[in-house]
Structure 1
């Protein structure tokens, strides 16, 4: 008998769902809070979960993320009391199997549960399956774009894989958001590899590297004599990708006139070469990437809003490396293995201190930076283990060079959880919708002052000012000590003496 976990702080709603599902041959377990649901899932598992979007202690997104982190194979169906497309898309992107709106229709809820059970893995975590087993690696269920690449197995990235599997078989245009170097192109390749276009071309274009004069020729091609220097006919990237996929990285960098031409491609699936007189029909899937939200770019006048809406059929947010936990070490060891083969060296491991530094560092260059750090460190290492003495200066001393141990974050909006008096009556949920949604901004963060000497004296004030000037100069010089010394108008040796005096930096 399949076990369904019903999560709702409205006990009467739980009772009604319990009765209905029990009559249809399911075992039902009721819990009344998000924390209780996660505790039950951790200890017992379930075959599927039915979760109300609004709970007293959490919202549906938090519960969903928690369940996926503990047991990613459990299908989660979200119940919401208002028909909100944005919320529906958000929970679906996070890995929810589906969502249903109130009033709940018995046939609909039953069909959704049965479908979720049919499509779930045969290894779905249920009671007695051994809760200590290793989490299933979702990357084995899709074709990897590159055998030299791994995705990792953090919960946040398993959600990305779920989205890739969902959108890959379609012809949807996809927007990939994420910082430079976080793997957007590999994800685009993986979407292509798992689509019906897998055997057709995949063409990747870095829009940031295209000059304004040549971008039209690069994308659309040109005819002989179309402009000075066009001595031959050229086939553009869109035409080369015909039947397959084109990936346009940093799409915001395209000029306005090229965006206009690209809009026609998306709408009519036709291109015209520069200097040409006839249209060429093409069938190409477009995946674009940006480190800036395209809607924000549209509001600033940098990107056409109509083009954004054409592309925005599906979007995926790719997390930076610093948010991927132990995946950092997984990638580091993967890069170390390939680098050792390339250098013909037997460097096989990272020292515990190096692992600690890697997990604390912010990785502004993401995977590209990690790979380069591993290659440099392996080259400088004479033993089989990378130690802290071969790591770059700014990485080893990263935490000591921060003004504040607490990273400032922009204020975010949080879901307002209504009190019991605002929860709708359970019986009414089967009859009508009662929208009730508001939000309240979180409080602003701040930067506390960095104090080196905690006493009130002229000498202490001078030391604190000098310390902070040195730190600021090092940051401004990108941790180049010679350049920092020039900024401070002192020689390099004096800077070293000051750094040692303040115990500012590590010399391991």
Structure 2
């Protein structure tokens, strides 16, 4: 029986919906956001109904919209039907723009709602089957749970994942930005004995330091100004599953101490709390920081490094993966041609030269972004160097010049792309780095490497 999560602060509506729908679905009930997220991570329902009229938070945003964003941020395939009153029409439209599947205006007619739910479950099943078929097709081309590659380095990564997945020990994934560290963490989770538990990611470098502790470990009511309710942290949500700590190299030293204590004792205390809470979760961490250098400089604790790095995996940059570049380019082309409804057959010879010669500072993420942009912008059946943002005709030396080595061709193409993209955006580094699919610090490093001035 399909699982349906109902989130509503009205006990009467929860009772009505459970009474009317229990014979069709396995109904899960939640009255607030925290309970909803806990049940969602524990049961992974494909469809949920969400009351937009949940009480607003301190900023005036409805808790219903916050819950919707949290659910879709973690599981975008979920079909969410928002329930609203007449006064919630604007929020209902906002919810649809955010990604809700549909909205239904109260009062509730169970027969009508049942039709909407059946359609949502049917669509979810079709999309799941489509993803399964796509994954099976792509895996036949050399991949594992969304990671693809046939070069020796990636084959070694796949072999290591198979060996360590069921060992239930901490893993540290190292590699440049865009190499697929979170995909590796998810592959470890999916192949582990915890695969039916939650996979909870958190980016340690994306959350302000003063909020990160509460985000990780939760907080008690009244722990600080604005803490109106008890809130569970990411560590608690990951109970029975895997906690993925991305960019752990950015974790502040005081929180490194608390994380180390959790790894040693398997207990946490919420901010403002005194109760020790036992948590059973596996830690997979990732960073692009040189951890050994950070230890020498006093920015990362050596004892924590040895705790999280029982097993370390180092992902190769895309530029070192040889024919994987073409494999991945064709995979992305196949995927997004269907998504965008474009009739693109492949790459021109000059574009293929560009794919091989470019240094890919943003790695697989940059390649994916370039392919998506190229498909949208292309006017012919074969993608050209211009479509991919390489410029020119894809040649890397003039007919009268001595032939360039592959390294020299990459350096020249990289410099030309940085300069032309920066010029196109009027010197705006944020926009230029976004178009190229790389971070601003990486863009600045490359500008310094190639002596590019931003006048």
TM-score normalised according to structure 1 size: 0.51
Number of the residue aligned with 2:202: 205
Contact 1:201 1:243 in 2 (8 A): yes
Give the secondary-structure state (helix, strand or coil) at the position aligned to 1:287.
Answer: strand
1:258–1:482 distance in 2 versus 1, CA, 3 Å? closer
1:169–1:395 distance in 2 versus 1, CA, 3 Å? farther
Number of the residue aligned with 1:282: 279
1:283–1:354 distance in 2 versus 1, CA, 3 Å? same
1:387–1:215 distance in 2 versus 1, CA, 3 Å? same
Separation in structure 2 between the aligned mates of residue 330 and residue 472 of structure 1, nearest angstrom: 25
1:407–1:330 distance in 2 versus 1, CA, 3 Å? closer
1:74-473 alignment to 2 at 5 Å? 144-145=144-145, 149-393=146-390
- Which runs of 5 or more residues in structure 1 are unaligned? 1-136, 409-446, 451-467, 485-508
Residue of 419, 423, 427 corresponding to 1:480: 423
Give the secondary-structure state (helix, strand or coil) at the position aligned to 2:286.
Answer: strand
Contact 2:171 2:285 in 1 (8 A): yes
1:247–1:224 distance in 2 versus 1, CA, 3 Å? same
Contact 1:216 1:274 in 2 (8 A): yes
1:345–1:481 distance in 2 versus 1, CA, 3 Å? closer
Separation in structure 2 between the aligned mates of residue 158 and residue 238 of structure 1, nearest angstrom: 32
1:371–1:239 distance in 2 versus 1, CA, 3 Å? same
Give the secondary-structure state (helix, strand or coil) at the position aligned to 1:308.
Answer: helix
Number of the residue aligned with 2:89: none
Number of the residue aligned with 2:58: none
Number of the residue aligned with 2:45: none
1:319–1:398 distance in 2 versus 1, CA, 3 Å? farther
CA deviations 1:200-247 (Å, max 9, x no partner) are: 111111111011011001100001111111111111001100111111
Separation in structure 1 between the aligned mates of residue 415 and residue 387 of structure 2, nearest angstrom: 24
1:175–1:139 distance in 2 versus 1, CA, 3 Å? farther
1:473–1:196 distance in 2 versus 1, CA, 3 Å? closer
Separation in structure 2 between the aligned mates of residue 141 and residue 475 of structure 1, nearest angstrom: 33
How far residue 270 of structure 1 moved from its aligned partner, in angstroms, is 0.5
**Rg larger in structure:** 1
How far residue 144 of structure 1 moved from its aligned partner, in angstroms, is 4.0
TM-score normalised according to structure 2 size: 0.57
Give the secondary-structure state (helix, strand or coil) at the position aligned to 1:219.
Answer: helix
Structure with the higher fraction of residues in helix conformation = 2
Separation in structure 2 between the aligned mates of residue 332 and residue 142 of structure 1, nearest angstrom: 14
Count of residue pairs brought into register by the alignment: 284
1:275–1:477 distance in 2 versus 1, CA, 3 Å? farther
Separation in structure 1 between the aligned mates of residue 406 and residue 253 of structure 2, nearest angstrom: 37
1:398–1:237 distance in 2 versus 1, CA, 3 Å? farther
- Which runs of 5 or more residues in structure 2 are unaligned? 1-136, 398-402, 428-455
Higher-RCO chain (CA-CA 8 Å, sequence separation at least 6): 1
Separation in structure 1 between the aligned mates of residue 417 and residue 143 of structure 2, nearest angstrom: 45
1:382–1:267 distance in 2 versus 1, CA, 3 Å? same
1:304–1:396 distance in 2 versus 1, CA, 3 Å? farther
How far residue 389 of structure 1 moved from its aligned partner, in angstroms, is 2.9
Give the secondary-structure state (helix, strand or coil) at the position aligned to 2:205.
Answer: helix
1:281–1:326 distance in 2 versus 1, CA, 3 Å? same
Contact 1:474 1:481 in 2 (8 A): no
How far residue 193 of structure 1 moved from its aligned partner, in angstroms, is 0.6
How far residue 383 of structure 1 moved from its aligned partner, in angstroms, is 2.6
